[in-house]
Amino acid sequence: MTESQLDVQTDAEVQTPVADQNETVAQTDAVAVNEQDGQKLTNNKDILNYLAEKFPLCFILEGEAKPLKIGLFQDLADALADDPRVSKTQLRHVLRQYTSNWRYLYGCREGAGRVDLYGNPAGVLDAEQAAFAATQLAEAKAKVAEKRKAEAAEKRAQQRRQRKPQPTNKPRRPQAKFNAVDLTKLAIGAQVKVKAGGQAKAATVLEIQKDAARVELANGVVMTVTADRLFA
């Protein structure tokens, strides 16, 4: 933007980024400092209220604000030069806050009239100035939307973490213990267990061989199994 284009904004509009409509520029707690001629204001909100009281046709606190005269900061500083309640630095900060508010940017449309401290006409916004304000407003809205989206995502994640059951250590099923069978001591008709398919099945000994035994399972199946698969 050229130097002439920068003049379309007030001093505060050029130097400050757009602020959230619901946020204020770093405010401190209201602290009253007694001075010789009055009480100094240190809270941005209080200063803005004070300006609205002194210049009600310029600073509007409710509804759509009016675009301000180019160079209004200097007029404001001159008008309040002898006022002990505010300083130039404070005025600049408050003016930045005021002109970056969504209400103010909404009013910065092409052809909208600017006003001076006393509400007198002080020029109009052209298309380029209105587009600049619209861009600032769109960026501010996008920033707020992104912030809200992130907050909502974090809230959902927190809710999922709260609903997720905590893992529990389930007790393991004790494994069955089997005692090996001594074929030399095994008798026909004895009840044994046969290891088949990872399971132990009950069986009856039908015949004893050198290193195996012929057995009949409970379901009637007859099979020959080696000694290492027979258990008591």
| Number of domains into which the chain is organized | 2
Q: What is the pLDDT along the chain (232 residues), one digit of tens a residue?
A: 333 333 334 444 434 444 444 443 333 333 333 333 468 888 899 999 999 999 999 999 988 899 999 999 999 999 999 999 999 999 999 999 999 998 899 889 999 999 999 999 999 999 999 999 899 889 988 989 989 999 999 988 888 888 877 666 766 665 656 677 777 777 888 888 887 666 788 888 888 887 888 888 888 888 887 877 877 7
CATH number at residue 207: 2.30.30.140
Is 83 part of any domain?
A: yes
Query: 24 and 105 share a domain?
Result: yes
Q: Examine the domain organization and report whether 96 and 27 are in the same domain.
A: yes
Q: Is residue 34 part of a domain?
A: yes
Please give the Cα distance from 200 to 74 (Å, whole number): 98
Residue 230's closest CA among 113, 205, 149, 124? 205
Q: Say whether both 127 and 70 belong to one domain.
A: yes
> Distance between CA atoms of 213 and 41, rounded to whole angstroms?
104
- Same domain for 193 and 94, yes or no, is no
> Is residue 124 within 8 Å of residue 70, measured between CB atoms?
no
Structural domain including 111 reads 3-143
Both 194 and 118 in one domain: the answer is no
Same domain, 90 and 28: yes
